[in-house]
Amino acid sequence: MFPKVYGLRKKVNRMVKPSYKLGAYRTGGVRVMAAYDAIIIGGGFSGLAAARELSANGCHPLVLEAKNRLGGRAWTDERLGKKLEMGGTWFHWYEPHIWSEITKYNLETTQHVKVETLQWHNGKSVKKVPLNLLYTFLEKRMKTLTDEASFYFPNPYRPLEQQEKLLEIDGLSTRDRLNRMKLTSSEYEWMDSLWSLIFHGRTEEASYTHSLRWLALSMNDWKRLLETFSAFQLTNGTKELISCIAADVKGDIHLSSEVTAVEKQKDETYAVTTQAGETFHGNTVIVTLPPPVIQNVAFSPPLSSVKRQAGKEKAVSRGVKVWVRIKSSPEPFIAAAPAHFPLNYIQYEYEDEDGSFLVCFGSDAGKLDVSNISDVEDAVHRILPDVEIMDCAGHDWTRDKFAGQTWSMHGKNQLTRYHMELNREENGIFLAGDSLADGGAGLMDGALESGIKTAGKVRNYIIQHLK
Ligand SMILES: Cc1cc2nc3c(=O)[nH]c(=O)nc-3n(C[C@H](O)[C@H](O)[C@H](O)COP(=O)(O)OP(=O)(O)OC[C@H]3O[C@@H](n4cnc5c(N)ncnc54)[C@H](O)[C@@H]3O)c2cc1C
């Protein structure tokens, strides 16, 4: 069974119509048949998972995706002669939603090569540190954080369970918390670099509660949390999982369809208009856009003031991910540097006949143009002076009109101020996406969770409103 996908050159089979529809309303005695039960804005993991779940329950969804491809911030692209993940890549078996998708579609995964040492470059000298020694060095400090994670998030999938207590710390940045720990200067440098990598942004903007949420999700095993960043990946790319989910959507999917307006009609349905001037009608709307780009869509009536305020907040995750192809074939390694370096984390990934591939991260896209090979070369050479770089490939997600950020990490106060309200339906409009997950917020796992959960809410809404 395939969805009808518009805007793709490849012809896809027509969708199979569901056996029954939930989308008939009576308003003032008039029966209104909207064309779709739900119009889903955005064809990333969240939007596609929502569409699949809705159609599995007899609803008729439409997915409108602005780009000419599905997947959003998960994007397997052919670069440097290889299929490379420009966005979301790694996951771990402790992430329930993505792992169950892999099981469901029987997808092949590749485990990352084991790395035993880390090279730490503090700007003056390089130190090679066996990972187990580094872990011992960090243990005491991380233990303080994991203790707090289990105190504030005893049930990680109920992030606001301890709301009263959370209000006391949600205004703290991760840097604030590190500052209060009385770390030695080298401990501080390590911790600051590590958390800036995790947030893909500056620790002074990174919400401390989000750090604790991720620790709690890894069952307070901080080494496992670190492992997640290079645990498993899909052998044939995230593209394969995206295609599997899309193929199970019994509804319509339109590519190259940037939504510009969502307007409530007199008959209580919604008119959703695209940049090209097409208008689609639906009984409900699911908005799966990353928070920084929601304001590109005009809602009438407007979303609640709290939701609008959330959309105006500056994204925390404004870092870079860039692939480099190098001439040599070193032993697998990780290299790291203080957070202010344009690239502060470099990881060996693959080897091929011409050399090998490294994946590099930095916490500020303003410091590095990932499309400029000489800038990238300079940034890599600050940590690995001897490698010969042949080429590089990256995507600036922070300047991408349809993303505005990398993975969705929260800023100060955002959990207690916005999480509940953003997850609250408003007259048939539902928000979803990785940032709204109860569990893995900011991750592919969280995007799937949020899409699936929202589909359930939409279905209940439709059932309750059937007269
Ligand atoms: C560089 C990078 C590295 C990452 N690494 C990892 C990782 O290793 N592991 C992990 O779990 N996660 C990782 N992530 C995060 C992961 O990719 C995301 O959490 C997940 O893909 C988000 O899915 P989503 O559906 O919530 O949002 P998106 O994927 O952003 O989907 C939203 C969709 O809406 C579309 N859109 C935007 N505006 C409009 C509009 N006006 N009209 C119509 N459509 C619109 C977008 O094009 C997009 O397709 C990474 C992300 C990035 C960017």
Same-domain check for residues 136 and 210: yes
**Looking at 191, 208, 228, which one is the last position of a domain?**
228
Residue 121 lies in a domain: no
What is the number of residues in the chain?
467
Same-domain status, 298 and 444: yes
**CA neighbor of 3 nearest in space, from 171, 365, 255:** 255
If asked whether residues 66 and 80 sit together in one domain, one would say: no
Ligand 1 centroid to Cα of residue 20, in Å, is 32
Q: Is 45 in the same domain as 101?
A: no
Q: Which of 17-31, 39-53, 118-132, 326-340 has the lowest mean pLDDT?
A: 17-31
* Residue 383: band (very low, low, confident or very high) from pLDDT cuts 50, 70, 90: very high
CA-atom Rg of the chain in angstroms: 23
CATH number for the domain that contains residue 265? 3.50.50.60
Question: Phi and psi at residue 200, in whole multiples of 5°?
Answer: 55, 40
Question: What is the residue range of 97's domain?
Answer: 76-114+232-236+316-399
Instruction: Identify the pLDDT of residue 32.
Output: 41
- Among 206, 228, 250, residue at a domain's last position: 228
Which ligand 1 atom sits nearest the alpha carbon of residue 260? 41
Instruction: For residue 340, tell me if it sits in a domain.
Output: yes
Q: Is the dihedral of CA 345, 350, 356, 357 positive or negative?
A: negative
* Residue numbering of the annotated binding site: 46, 65-66, 259
Of the listed ranges 25-29, 330-334, 344-348, 459-463, the one predicted with least confidence: 25-29
Residue 260 φ/ψ region, left for φ over 0, alpha for ψ in the -120 to 50 degree band, beta for the rest: alpha
Q: Are 435 and 125 in contact (CB under 8 A)?
A: no
Residue 321 is predicted with a pLDDT of 98
Which residue puts its alpha carbon closest to atom 52 of ligand 1? Answer: 87
On whether ipTM exceeds 0.90, the answer is yes
Amino acid identity of 265?
Q
Kindly state the tokens that stand for 316.
């925390």
Count of helices and strands (H, E) across the chain: 13, 22
The confidence band for 6, taking pLDDT boundaries of 50, 70 and 90, is low
Residues 360 and 437 in one domain: no
Same domain? For 141 and 223 the reply is yes
Q: Assign residue 219 the CATH number of its domain.
A: 1.10.405
pLDDT: which is higher, 115 or 433:
433
Question: Which atom of ligand 1 is closest in space to residue 293's alpha carbon?
Answer: 38
Same domain for 170 and 258, yes or no, is no
CA neighbours closer than 13 Å in the CB half-sphere of residue 250: 15
Nearest-atom index, ligand 1, CA of 47: 25
For residue range 126-137, list pLDDT tens digits in order.
899 999 999 998
d(CA 211, CA 198): 8
Look at residue 372 and tell me if it is in a domain.
yes
Asked, for residue 411, whether it belongs to a domain, the answer is: no
157 C-alpha to center of ligand 1: Å? Answer: 21
Confidence of residue 11 (pLDDT cuts 50, 70, 90): very low
Total domains, the chain: 3
Q: Residue whose CA is closest, atom 49 of ligand 1?
A: 72
Counting Cβ atoms within 10 Å, is residue 333 exposed (0-12), middle (13-18) or buried (19+)?
middle
Higher pLDDT, 2 or 444: 444
> Mind listing the pLDDT tens digit for each residue in 212-237?
999 999 999 999 998 887 899 999 99
Residue 410 lies in a domain: no
Are residues 220 and 136 part of one domain?
Answer: yes
**In-domain check, residue 461:** yes
Q: Among 399, 418, 434, where does a domain finish?
A: 399
Give the model's pLDDT for residue 122: 83
Within 293-429, where are the H helices? 305-312, 373-381, 414-422
The alpha carbon of 366 and the centre of ligand 1 are apart by a number of angstroms equal to 20
Distance between Cα 155 and ligand 1 center (Å): 26
Residues 362 and 445 in one domain: no
The pLDDT value recorded for residue 7 is 62
**pLDDT for residue 16:** 32
pLDDT tens digits, one per residue of 152-202: 999 999 999 999 999 999 999 999 999 999 999 989 999 999 999 999 999
Mean pLDDT of the chain: 92
Write out residues with Cβ below 6 Å of ligand 1.
41-47, 64-67, 72-74, 87-91, 258-259, 288-290, 293, 296-297, 321, 397, 402-403, 406-407, 433-434, 442-445, 447
Buried b (16+ CB within 10 A) or exposed e, 397-434: bbebebbbbbbbbbbbbbbbbbbebbbeeeebbbbbbb
Residue 247 lies in a domain: yes
Ligand 1 atom at shortest distance from the alpha carbon of 70: 49
pLDDT above 80 for 3: no
